[in-house]
Amino acid sequence: MTAAPSQVLDRVLVLEMVRVTEAAAIAASVLTGRGDEKAADAAAVDAMRTALNELYMDGTVVIGEGERDEAPMLYIGEKVGSAIGTGPKIDIALDPLEGTTICATAGPNSLAVLAIADEGGLLNAPDVYMDKIAVGPGYPEGIIDLDKTPTENITAVAAAKGVAPRDIIVCVLDRPRHEALIAELRSIGCGVMLIGDGDVAGVIATTNPDTTIDVYMGSGGAPEGVLACAALRCVGGQFKGRLLFRNDDERARAAKWGVTDLDKQYDLSELAKGDCIFAATGVTDGSLLAGVKRKGGKIMTTESVVMRASSGTVRWVKGEHRIG
């Protein structure tokens, strides 16, 4: 699926996005493996906010660290950029440290992540769970459907790939709530790759044959779902998501951010629509990106990816940063 180029998302911003995720990743990396999730997250948030405020834009955080009363920085609705009120109006979805526990325990696949789109381009997903299913590019449109059972989805994907269900690898977050899903997938012979955290990387992994992951399934954060969709818009693939609510408070939160149909099955193009840019920098090593490394005493190396939906361009960026 392609998108018409936005008149607002300046080409310059494509590369500037990397500076922002690099800054967050470097700040978090200093606390990798220190067992302090909050400190690592706070460092990433602070660095990302500072870097965002240097960009020429009138930015609005639509997916961020939470609501204003619970998150002092990068809260939903916060204005960022150096040209508030005058610059191009841009919506921002961000997760300065996706996989806080991974970072705190030096596990794989923690990332600093950012997506931008024209105003209104990203679903203002509340901080609730989302049921998700994703596949990479190359499958017939509509092959995955949350209204179908896991067995039906896997059978369809396997048939389209020309293999048996036992040849399909499904990535699932390792959570007690997924016990029945995992059991069903194993009962039809699928390989289930369990991940401890980090489903943005899990969804994106379906687009990279090297990971061997064919399908992503299960529930995770709704904001992470929108971020993953921004990436899939750029590199191809399909995604379906449905918000999951545990109580009336969560339903009210969704309504507050303009979500009217609470049971809707969202398509990729509704979660991230139009032109968008996605950027990520690895904090720890993972299937998508290498993590931040210290090279000698005063140099940090980073690996990032930045991509744009309208052009389909994917840039892999290696950075060397001199630190004080």
Binding-site residue numbers for Mn(2+) are 41, 65, 95, 98, 224
Q: Which residues are annotated as a binding site?
A: 41, 65, 95, 98-100, 129, 175-177, 197-199, 221, 224
Q: Is 28 helix (H, G, I), strand (E, B) or coil?
A: helix
Min dist CB 195 to ligand FBP, Å, is 8
> Of the ranges 61-69, 76-84, 196-204, 266-274, which one interacts with ligand FBP (CB under 6 A)?
196-204
Piece of 98-106, 145-153, 229-237, 294-302 that binds ligand FBP (CB under 6 A): 98-106
- The stretch among 14-22, 92-100, 119-127, 313-321 that binds ligand FBP (CB under 6 A) is 92-100
**Single residue of 96, 121, 126, 220 touching ligand FBP by CB under 6 A:** 220
233 CB-near residues (< 8 Å, 6+ apart): 1, 3, 268, 269, 272, 276, 278, 309
Which of 81, 96, 99, 291 lies at the binding interface for ligand FBP (CB under 6 A)?
Answer: 99
Q: Interface with ligand FBP by CB under 6 A: which range of 99-107, 152-160, 275-283, 301-309?
A: 99-107
DSSP 248-294: HHHHHHHHHTT---TT--EEHHHHB-SSEEEEEEESS--SS----EE
Q: Two tokens at 122?
A: 């990203």
DSSP 158: H
Burial 262-301 (b: 16+ CB within 10 A, else e): eeeebebeebbbbbbbbbbbbbbbbbbbebbeeeeeeebe
| Backbone phi and psi for residue 266, each to the nearest 5 degrees, phi listed first | -85, 140
Count residues near ligand FBP (CB under 6 A).
14
221 binds ligand FBP (CB under 6 A): yes
DSSP 183-235: HHHHHTT-EEEEESS-HHHHHHGGG-GGG---EEEEEEEHHHHHHHHHHHHHH
CA 295 to chain CA centroid, Å, is: 28
275 binding ligand FBP? (CB under 6 A): no
From candidates 82, 101, 105, 311, binder to ligand FBP by CB under 6 A: 101
Cβ 198 to ligand FBP, closest distance in Å?
A: 5
What's CA 299's distance to the chain center, in Å?
28
Among 89, 148, 161, 175, binds ligand FBP (CB under 6 A): 175
Cβ proximity to ligand FBP, 30 vs 188, nearer residue? 30
**Which residue lies nearer to ligand FBP by CB, 121 or 221?**
221
In the complex, the residues that contact ligand FBP under the rule CB under 6 A are 97-101, 173, 175, 197-200, 220-221, 224
